[in-house]
Amino acid sequence: MFLEYVIQNWTLILIAIAFAITLKTIGLQDRVTVKRMYILTAGVLCLSFVVFTEFYLADIGGYLTLRTVLMAVRYSATPIICAMILFALQKMKWFVFIPALILTAVNIISIFTGVVFSLDDGGTLRRGLLGSLPYIVAGLYGVAMICILYRDSNKLYTEILPIVFLGFAFASGLILPFMFRNNFSQMFCPTIMIALLVYTITSTTIRKYKQRHERDNEIINESIETFTSFIDAKDPYTNGHSKRVAKYTRSIAEKMGYEGEELDRIYYMALLHDCGKIGVPDNILSKPDKLTDEEYQIIKSHTVNGGEILNHFKSLEGVNEGALYHHERYDGKGYPEGLAGEDIPLIARMICVADSFDTMNTNRVYRKKLTRESILNEIETNKGRQFDPAIADVMLKLLRDPDNPLDF
């Protein structure tokens, strides 16, 4: 009988072996999860053997009592395996098994009462008063599994597709046996194993990509912050200016609906907006008196210099726009090109507001920082002149918010 089981279920066995090898080689760092997944695989194989044995005995006839016990095991094992999936994938606590264990007790009672199922003298399955209960419990587990996996995902299609596949496989493996009984009863185990294999590979790949992406972002961020700290250190009054402007610009962009990688890109562009000051002499940057016309032209050149420096920074698309255009004005009276309105790149219009706010909100060599009321009035007054009105309104809303994330 065992040899016949192997022959009939060799596909499932190969999938289980592939799944075990996958768990060993994909580099899951959480040993508890790996151990639970191994137990889950063993549980699915055991369930498939129970199903095979039950139908094997049905084919040869007789053994009604043993078949009834095996049916109780089968109807109990399916929800238990569903609970094991949650237990393994989501590290849920032991209480996730409580509904499955209650169902197991009902199935054991059914062996003697037929309340869930029974076999007549001819060996035909008869569903009792609670005949749909095992499928309902397993279905509820399946719904909970999909909802929890979706809740903990980043809602990106690359993560949602494996979850949808797992849900579809689970539903087909559960509904078809319920509708067509013996014809599809043995498909639940291989269907679940295939779905788990696909989900584990894709979710692990996505997780590794996210970790690598986060690590790369950390390297980029630290490199840019180190570079900008050299610039800010040239003038003790503006120390930390680049990082603050980047933070304010990010808050503006987030309020405008940006998220994810685009938000990171905006942050880095704002962080580098003053990189052209690396070529401005220290005595001009920190001069407490009024600048001469020549010195003012040198200061203004930091926009063009920054744009040229960042032209070589190819990994961030359009990164030079923040440095080159953040001193343009919405009314066209800014520099270096005198752009106006929507002709000014959006990132530069964001940085313009954030940069001006930080200038007003910090002490400078030539004046003390402005009062709260003065800052709000300056931003309000310069809407449509220096600032994009829509972005200025976003900034004002942030500043007036009692829980605002800005240093105000």
We report the CATH number of the domain holding residue 245 as 1.10.3210.10
Cα distance between residue 126 and residue 121, in whole Å = 11
Tell me, what's the pLDDT at 182?
Answer: 53
Residues 250 and 156 in one domain: no
Q: Does a structural domain hold residue 108?
A: yes
Q: Look up residue 223 and give its two tokens.
A: 């490199």
Tell me, what's the pLDDT at 407?
Answer: 65
Residues 273 and 359 in one domain: yes
Q: Does a structural domain hold residue 93?
A: yes
Q: Does a structural domain hold residue 216?
A: no
Q: Does a structural domain hold residue 185?
A: yes
Cα distance between residue 26 and residue 200, in whole Å = 9
Last residue of a domain, one of 163, 193, 209: 209
Counted residue by residue, the chain has a size of: 408
Note down pLDDT in tens along the chain; length 408 residues: 777 777 777 788 888 888 888 877 776 557 787 888 888 888 888 888 888 888 888 878 778 889 889 888 888 888 888 888 888 877 778 888 898 899 899 989 988 888 988 888 777 878 888 888 888 888 888 888 888 888 877 777 777 887 888 788 777 777 766 666 554 556 777 877 888 888 788 777 777 887 887 888 788 878 888 888 777 777 665 678 888 999 999 999 999 999 888 998 999 999 999 998 888 888 887 787 888 989 989 989 999 999 998 988 877 788 899 999 999 999 999 999 999 999 999 999 999 999 999 999 987 766 788 888 999 999 999 999 999 999 999 999 999 888 776 666
Cα distance between residue 208 and residue 26, in whole Å = 10
Tell me, what's the pLDDT at 184?
Answer: 54
| Cα Rg, the chain, nearest whole Å | 33
Residues 44 and 181 in one domain: yes
Tell me, what's the pLDDT at 360?
Answer: 92
Residues 92 and 136 in one domain: yes
Largest CA distance in the chain: 108
Our measurement of the distance from residue 351's CA atom to the centroid of its chain's CA atoms, rounded to an integer in Å, reads 28
Residues 312 and 372 in one domain: yes
Last residue of a domain, one of 153, 175, 209: 209
Residues 51 and 141 in one domain: yes
Last residue of a domain, one of 209, 244, 267: 209
Q: Does a structural domain hold residue 102?
A: yes
Residue 347 CB neighbours (<10 A): 21
Tell me, what's the pLDDT at 326?
Answer: 95
Residues 62 and 193 in one domain: yes
Residues 200 and 240 in one domain: no
Cα distance between residue 399 and residue 224, in whole Å = 27
Tell me, what's the pLDDT at 316?
Answer: 78
Tell me, what's the pLDDT at 225?
Answer: 80
Q: Look up residue 148 and give its two tokens.
A: 């929890």
Residue 383's domain comprises: 233-400
Cα distance between residue 16 and residue 174, in whole Å = 19
Q: Does a structural domain hold residue 330?
A: yes
Q: Is 387 helix (H, G, I), strand (E, B) or coil?
A: strand
Residues 48 and 127 in one domain: yes
Give me the number of domains the chain comprises.
Answer: 2
- Residues 288, 365: contact at Cβ < 8 Å? yes
Q: Which helix (H) or strand (E) holds 126?
A: strand 125-127
- Residues 41, 19: contact at Cβ < 8 Å? yes
Instruction: Give per-residue burial for 107-118: e unless 16+ CB within 10 Å, then b.
Output: beebbeebbbbb
Instruction: Give per-residue burial for 185-215: e unless 16+ CB within 10 Å, then b.
Output: bbbbbbbbbbbbbebbebbeebeeeeeeeee
Q: Give one DSSP letter per residue of 69-115, joined into a string.
A: HHHHHHHHHHHHHHHHHHHHHS---GGGGHHHHHHHHHHHHHHHH-S
Q: Does a structural domain hold residue 219?
A: no
Residues 186 and 53 in one domain: yes
- Looking at residue 46, its amino acid is C
Q: Does a structural domain hold residue 62?
A: yes
Residues 248 and 283 in one domain: yes
* Rounded (5°) CA angle 205-259-207: 10
Our measurement of the distance from residue 170's CA atom to the centroid of its chain's CA atoms, rounded to an integer in Å, reads 23
Tell me, what's the pLDDT at 408?
Answer: 61
336 preceded by a cis bond (ω within 30 of 0)? yes
Cα distance between residue 223 and residue 225, in whole Å = 6
Angle between helices 64-89 and 188-232 (to 10 degrees): 10
Residues 294 and 205 in one domain: no
Cα distance between residue 347 and residue 325, in whole Å = 9
